[in-house]
Amino acid sequence: MKFHCPNCNNKSDFLFKASDFNKGDLDKKFDYQRCPACHLIFLPEIPTNLADYYDDNYYEPYPPETFLKIAKKNLYQIQMIQKFVTSGRLLEIGPGKGIFAHVAKQAGFEVDVIEMSDLSCDYLSKVVGANVIQSDRPQDAIKILDKHDVIATWHNIEHLPDPWAFLDSAADNLAPGGILLIAAPNPDSFQFKVLGPKWTHLDPPRHLYLIPVEILIQRLKPLGLKCVMLTHNDRGGKYLNREGWQCYLMEKFSNRFSFDSNMPEWERKFWALFGFAFSLPLALWERTGSRGAAYTMILQKNKYPAKPARKSQ
Ligand SMILES: [Zn+2]
């Protein structure tokens, strides 16, 4: 069966079958397609029971001490944003365990979040103090919100069934000069080229799309947004490089899987250390060009609205 690319409408090619190996379920296979024109990777048939593939531990809050420790390490996330916007209203899509929302709030932003999980919404509202909108359709939820100076989506866009409508809504909601931050797994990465369907950051079937940076730039340009920052080597990107090898080696050489909650702590540490040692020499290669496992990009909206085209006489 031929599937058309949801980005550019070209006929796509079958890429591979992949299983939910991160959860240790190797029976069911999911077909991924690749568009030969724009290089989008996508899951053409999104499972109707997609929510069943998300466990509660995806959202289970961290113990307070761990939360604050991670928040401290993640200060880089808000510092990237502060180079362009230093205050105002910030909207995060898919805040999950709420680390970034907390960091943004501490930095003085007024924080709104759109999140689908009950557990996360409760925590974000009561503990983080964010203004919570519960929805699994951010593209619609944004439309009723006031303008934002920052919209951030950290590793969430690949989970959205309709990322294109989300980009349109986000671009429309941004105030002039406002920024959109997108961090996502990188389909141009060295790891994806080498590991393909076994790449932990493919995360089937939760990752519905792997979107090349160029598609985001091209789609957002006519909406008045310009890429002002792009990196594959922020702290999160380097962490995901490491994690990609750690998970792959653990799954290959043990009967464990990434989301295995029964794994003894010593065993988790062993595989983390083994993968870390393996990843060290590769880091020299992965940190060059656009080979990193993930990208983080910031796109800024025009400071002045575009002038309407002059009518011809
Ligand atoms: Zn395409």
Ligand 1 centroid to Cα of residue 25, in Å, is 30
Q: What is the pLDDT of residue 1?
A: 67
Q: Determine the Cα–Cα distance for residues 241 and 283; give it in Å rounded to an integer.
A: 8
Tokens of 106: 């501490």
Tokens of 306: 């575009």
Cβ neighbour number for residue 297 with a 10 Å cutoff: 19
* Domain boundaries 13-301, corresponding CATH code: 3.40.50.150
Ligand 1 centroid to Cα of residue 16, in Å, is 17
Ligand 1 centroid to Cα of residue 171, in Å, is 21
Is 221 strand, coil or helix?
Answer: helix
Q: What is the pLDDT of residue 102?
A: 96
Ligand 1 centroid to Cα of residue 80, in Å, is 30
The series of mean pLDDT values per 10 residues for the chain, 313 residues long, is 92 96 88 97 94 81 92 97 98 94 97 93 92 95 97 97 97 97 98 96 96 98 97 95 92 80 83 87 91 97 75 55
Tokens of 143: 């439309």
Strand partners, 17: 31
Ligand 1 centroid to Cα of residue 56, in Å, is 34
Q: Cβ distance 211 to 157 under 8 Å? A: yes
Tokens of 61: 């809050």
* Alpha-carbon dihedral angle through residues 290, 296, 301, 303, given to the nearest 10 degrees: -100
Sheet holding 25-34, edge to edge: 13-20, 25-34, 41-42, 209-210
Q: Cβ distance 212 to 40 under 8 Å? A: yes
Ligand 1 centroid to Cα of residue 211, in Å, is 10
Ligand 1 centroid to Cα of residue 31, in Å, is 17
pTM: 0.93
